[in-house]
Amino acid sequence: MIEKKITTTFYQTDYNSLSSLEKNLIDLSNQSLNEAYAPYSGFMVGAVVLLENGEIISGNNQENVAYPSGLCAERVAIYYAGAKFPNVKVSSIAISAKSKKFEIKDVISPCGACRQAIAEYEVKQEENIRILLHQSDNSILIVESVSDLLPFMFKSKGLQNF
């Protein structure tokens, strides 16, 4: 047996150190979370996708009484971007969250399904997608690729041959 390790690189900064564009993305993700439909969990997430053409697409989580039928903010935003602008690359995604029921003290990052959805777009466009995670203390965690969050992402060019 051989032990191998995977390391992840991320950057931590604060809101005031961001560029004006990045601040705008965080502000828009905060605005978007306030429009989330989260009557069951009270956990609201906003995501904003910046496309290479400058378009900004926002999304928020949409819950349903049949829990598996809901959709996370990240997938709402990236799927809408893919539907509206199918041939335009995604540059970055900014994500913010808040809860009506508890104080968030942990790092909030995309769930596994959202990580895989973002990974699909990275594979499709053959370019990384920068992810900005806005924390409740106004700190920002930045990863340069979803592979930093999902090192064993499910991908295979061979699957496209079916």
- pLDDT, tens only, 77-94: 999 999 999 999 999 999
- pLDDT, tens only, 122-138: 999 999 999 999 998 99
* Amino acid residing at 14: D
How are beta strands 90-99 and 130-134 bridged, if at all?
A: parallel
Contact 92, 121 (CB under 8 A): no
> Edge-to-edge, what's the strand order for the sheet holding 11-14?
11-14, 139-143, 130-134, 90-99, 43-51, 56-60
- pLDDT, tens only, 18-54: 999 999 999 999 999 999 999 999 999 999 999 999 9
74 is catalytic: yes
Contact 142, 131 (CB under 8 A): yes
Q: What is the pTM of this model?
A: 0.93
Q: Which of the two residues, 136 and 96, has the higher pLDDT score?
A: 96
Fold for the domain defined by 11-154:
Cytidine Deaminase; domain 2 (3.40.140)
Among residues 74, 120, 127, 144, which one is catalytic?
Answer: 74
Q: How many CB atoms lie within 10 A of CB 127?
A: 14
Q: Which residues of 59-82 are buried (b: 16+ CB within 10 A; e: fewer)?
A: bbbebeeeeeebbbbbbbbbbebb
